[in-house]
Amino acid sequence: MKLKSFSFCIIGLCVSFSTFAFPFFQKSYNVTAEKALTLNKSDLSGDDKNLDNNVFKYALKAYACARKRGMDKQEMLTIIDYSKPAVEPRLWVIDLKHLHVKYAELVAHGEKSGDMVGKYFSNQSGSHESSIGTFLTKSTYDGHNGLTLRLEGLEPGINDHAMSRYIVLHGANYVSENRVMREGRIGRSFGCPAIPKRMAKPTINAIKNGTILFAYAPQSSWLKHSAFLHC
């Protein structure tokens, strides 16, 4: 998507604006389930350089299926790609109404899911592994990590124990660019998708209460059989 710029004058002062810097000036789209399936990464504005188009297409399939089931009328989609190294941005919050990447962030995986890249995933309590699949965001609460977002796993046998496992999205001091520069890595969680502390509040407020979060990993059985990828 090419960005458009425009200018206007106020009392002789000309000011130029970019729709990249001010996404609320962007064209508004009605991204139905059918429309979602036609999108590509090239349709997006914002920081999408680390987002794999194939992963984006998988996420759109899950999103379209959720929309068909009456979910997520806010047109907001969050994608996590656990196949990317943890030291790179691998969580994206995408405003589908404006086809704009609102946030691109670091995100930790569970300590038993692997070292730099998530390789092992679980639906079991006490595993300390992350869960993949399609989630619905729920309400928030203030926990020991600050503002925290509940996640409901929508895929039986894959992530439907997320609530009972307390798999939530929260901020953490062990996830930061400073730590990457200092130590060459970020910390790991007990299974939760943990993001930089400073980004927790704006991110959670943008996606809370009924939006879709899609967590990807190249797990062949899940990709082949997921009800949300074959709707």
CATH of the domain at 179: 2.40.440.10
Structural domain contains residue 17: no
- Count of structural domains within the chain: 1
Q: Would 89 be classed as within a structural domain?
A: yes
Tally Cβ neighbours within 10 Å of residue 159. Answer: 25
**Considering the domain boundaries, does residue 162 fall inside one?**
yes
Phi, psi of 77 (to 5 degrees): -130, 130
Confidence of residue 4 (pLDDT cuts 50, 70, 90): very low
Residue 205 falls inside a structural domain: yes
Q: Is residue 109 part of a domain?
A: yes
Altogether, the residues listed in the chain come to a count of 231
The identity of residue 218, as a single letter, is: P
Percentage of residues in the chain having pLDDT higher than 70:
89
Q: What is the DSSP letter of 43?
A: G
Domain-located, residue 12: no
Q: Is 36 contained in some domain?
A: yes
Cα–Cα distance for residue pair 57/60, rounded to 1 Å: 5
Question: Is residue 13 scored above 50 in pLDDT?
Answer: no
The predicted-structure confidence for 27-83, as pLDDT tens digits, reads as follows 777 888 899 999 999 999 999 989 999 999 999 999 999 999 999 889 999 999 999
Q: Provide the residue type at 62 as one letter.
A: A
55 domain-assigned:
yes
Domain ranges, residue 63:
28-225
